[in-house]
Structure 1
Amino acid sequence: MKKLMFYCQHILGMGHLVRSMEIVRGLTKDFHICFINGGEVIPEFQVPSGVEVVNLPAIKTDPEFKELQVVDHAFTLTEVQEIRKNLLLSILDKFQPDILMIELFPFGRRRFSFELIPMLEKVQASQSSTKVVCSLRDIVVTKQNQARHEEKVCKLINQYFDLLLVHSDPKFVSLEETFSRIQDFNCQVYYTGYVVQKTSENPVFSDEDKEIIESEQPLILVSVGGGRFGHELLDCVVKTAPLLEKIIPHNIQVFTGPFIPDEKFQELQTLKENSNNLRIRRYTPYFLNYMQKADLSISMSGYNTTLNILTTGVRAMILPFTGNNDQEQTIRSQKLNVLGITKTIYPQDLQPDIFAWRIISYLEKQINKIKFDFNGVENTAKFLKDFVYKEKIA
């Protein structure tokens, strides 16, 4: 089998990790895979069998993306950067991949150039047959100086990359909407369709999961991705739960995300003590099963959660993340709102009496269901197989 080395760096949420691992799951039949995780480890996160995972000393960021931070404070950021750079070069030497796949860079993660550029330079200098591929989501972050940003991206793509795979359906979102210079790329560019998660064929639910998922009682599912942001939504839901308990029969299951600070998690647990209709947990590997069960999903509008909403057809209310003036989730939520697929939550909605009314009224509405191309995993596998064996995609 051909060998594929996949680099993924999640620094705030967990969406990049979830999407990347779902892609990897679809490649295990055709490639021997070494998966490089540069972000914080999630103990319960499920990895496909046969995938070799290397967890680099983890780096994260603050919610405003202002600075990189180490997770293990036994080392300084400078020390961790040097360790990671050398470790990546060593893995590249030993593994000798046929494909080096890098998630997001150079459209984002350029602060990780300290380790990525040396690795890319090593691939070039070795004159090996390794193909370098960029794995990219549908909407990329725009910058204050967009022209300068796009010039840098074009230079890096043309210098180091052989293929760009955009995990989107251009009928819904084309890359050109947030990046104008695709025609300046020298490498091949293909849309794969959206990368979607699938439920486990034989899930082994914990008693806690089983009690909710197999219950006859209607469910409202609340989530905020990794848990480093979205706390204002969690606060509002917890304060709204007592109002809803008097009016509708639904249980409310909240997943705060594995990265929520301990003190915030405890604060939420204390707030919900008098609510019999509310449960709060950090994480479940069976989130998609909960969404299939739910009558309503309340969440942020990140890539993976949005795709879960679209594939399950659940009624959904979504709050865009706007930290660091990031427009990705706003663009996605506005498009879905216009199509009548989801309902956008605005900051002024986050008051318990208003929010309770919005939930109750939305539970009564019909929603539109539109099919996009959800074959991103299968198409990615096909593109990569064609590319590595034929050097050109059919």
Structure 2
Amino acid sequence: MTVKAFIHVQHLLGTGHVVRAAAIGKALAAKGAAVTLATGNKIPPTLDTGPLDIVELPACKSADATFKSLVTLDNEPIDETWKSARVKASIQAFSSGDYDLLLTETYPFGRRQLDFELTPLLEAAKKNPKPPLIATSIRDILVRKKEAWKEKWMADQALRFYDRILVHSDPDFIQLSDSFPFADRVEPLVRYTGYVGPEARPAAQGDDGRDELIISCGGGAVAAPLIEAALNARSLSHKAGGTIWRLLVGHDVGEDAFQRYRQMAPAGLIVERARRDFPDLLKRARLSVSQAGYNTVLDVLTAGLPAVFVPFAQADETEQTQRAEALARHGRAVVVSEAGLTPARLAARIDDALSLELSPHQVQLGGAQRSAEILLADLKDRF
């Protein structure tokens, strides 16, 4: 019997969530499952979804870095009519197939803005004559909440609806309890998978990346401080001032801003759009400079080069800072705060990173494949 899996994912600013969800979907498909990926935002052009059946839900994104309000991709506020259409679309997509597995990415350990949609979806799944296995896929570090009731609600939702919690980290490196105070309540549901990624990408052509300093910013929606500092830091670096710098600008940065960055670039600094061969560029490079999003960090760790992390930390975001500091403790990177970032501060930390003696600690990878194995074993035990 072919297992049928339904994965729900919503990325709001960065692209890491949909990249992880697609990786798990493709790992399930490689083991014979028929997989539907229902996405609530536009899939980035650098992501290969392979054999997945894509369902495009009415799309939304975060209005800004606070994540307090959702807007359409045209920046129009969403209203009750929009919400009703989104709920209907999700439930119809799920109900159209006799799914054995329902996997929600992040929720309920985040994406509480989508509770209007996801609680009805979960309730509908539970009411099926043959309810699916219900699992959630969460990254290594959760964003801490100021109000304890919000974190308690996460645990309550997990215990109410979920059969499995997949934590995409190396437990020798980071555990759920490091960022979630109710981890003990949900511990029986938790399985650590190792980190998800990076997916196979094309090889870089020619000498691109060779002995270069690679600066990247994911989708780029919240990367202006890093980009603007990097554009003026090369001449201030004592150890990398003679190196080619390559700045990769994400596709969430508008064309006008992208062209302005290109015009600002001094000699020796190449500005171009984000590339699918990014992992291979890193393998050739001297140093990576980036934010500390999940997927970028995995690319850096896999490439095995020193790094400077400028973690996104606006509007009480803590996840990237925790991840970057964990890597620094393991001797894999140096960290510079986004607040008050200047070209001089960035150049100084670049010089520090180029002096690092990298720790030999090997982080557990293969998280997508291990996730698929865990879920299929759960289904075998269940049915």
> Could you say which TM-score interval applies, normalised by the shorter chain?
over 0.9
Alpha-carbon distance in 2 for matches of 1:380, 1:83? 31
Kept after mapping to 2: 8 A contact 1:70/1:80: no
Residue 17 of structure 2 is aligned to residue 16 of structure 1: yes
Q: Which residue pairs with 1:139 in the alignment?
A: 141
Give the Å deviation of 1:82: 2.1
* Alignment deviations for residues 176-213 of structure 1 (CA, whole Å, 9 cap, x no partner): 1111223323862211111121333xx3x6xxx52443
Tell me what 1:280 maps to.
271
Partner of residue 368, structure 1: 359
Structure 1 unaligned blocks of 5 or more: none
Post-superposition Cα deviations, 1:338-371, rounded to whole Å, max 9, x if no partner, equal 2211011134783334433432453244222311
Q: Residue 282 of structure 2 aligns with which residue?
A: 291
Asked whether the 8 Å contact 1:157–1:187 carries over to 2, the reply is no
Deviation readout 1:107-161 (Å, 9 max, x if unpaired): 1111101111111111112232311101111111111112x12321122112111
SS at match of 1:17: helix
Distance 2:349 2:45 in 1: 36
Q: Which of 291, 296, 307 lines up with 2:298 in the alignment? A: 307
Contact 1:228 1:261 (8 Å CA) reproduced: no
| Counterpart in the other structure of 1:380 | 371
TM-score of the pair, normalised by structure 2: 0.92
The one of 226, 230, 253 equivalent to 2:223 is 230
- Single out whichever of 3-12 and 322-331 deviates more from structure 2: 322-331
Q: Secondary structure at the match of 1:210?
A: coil
Equivalent pairs counted in the alignment come to: 380
3-state DSSP class of the match of 2:247?
A: strand
Residues 337 and 349 (structure 1 numbering): CA distance in 2 closer, same or farther, change over 3 Å? farther
Matches within 5 A, 1:99-178: 99-146=101-148, 148-178=149-179
- Equivalent of 2:311 in 283, 305, 320: 320
CA distance in 1, matches of 2:378, 2:239: 58
Instruction: Report the CA distance shift for 1:333/1:98 in structure 2 as closer, same or farther (over 3 A).
Output: same
Partner of residue 98, structure 1: 100
Please give the secondary structure, in 1, of the residue aligned with 2:232.
helix
Equivalent residue for 1:338, pick from 313, 325, 329: 329
Unpaired segments ≥5 residues, structure 2: none
The alpha carbon displacement at 1:78 in A equals: 3.4
User: Compared with structure 1, are the counterparts of its residues 47 and 356 closer, same or farther at alpha carbon in structure 2 (3 Å cutoff)?
Assistant: same
Partners of 1:278 and 1:172 in 2: CA distance: 35
User: Displacement, 1:301?
Assistant: 0.8
What does residue 48 of structure 2 align with?
46
Change beyond 3 A, Cα 1:371–1:246: closer
Cα distance in 1 for partners of 2:117, 2:181 equals 27
Aligned equivalents of 1:335 and 1:269: distance in 2? 33
TM-score (norm: length of structure 1): 0.90
Amino acid at match of 2:367: G
Decide which moves more: 302-311 or 2-11.
302-311
Conservation of the 8 A alpha-carbon contact between 1:69 and 1:77: no
Shift of 1:291: 1.3
Report the counterpart of residue 390 of structure 1 in structure 2.
381
- Measured in 2, the distance between the counterparts of 1:178 and 1:63 equals 20
Letter of the 1:277 counterpart: G
Could you tell me how far 1:304 is from its partner in structure 2? Answer: 1.1
Contact 2:24/2:371 (<8 A) preserved: yes
Deviates more, 1:382-391 or 1:20-29: 20-29
Supply the distance in 1 between the matched residues of 2:317 and 2:77 (Cα, whole angstroms): 30
Q: What's the offset of the Cα at 1:79? A: 3.4
Cα drift, residue 76 of structure 1:
4.5
Structure 1 counterpart of 2:84, from 55, 75, 82: 82
Once the two structures are superposed, residues 373-392 of structure 1 have per-residue CA deviations (whole angstroms, 9 ceiling, x without a partner) of 21312211110110111229
Cα-Cα RMSD:
2.3
CA distance in 2, matches of 1:251, 1:25: 36
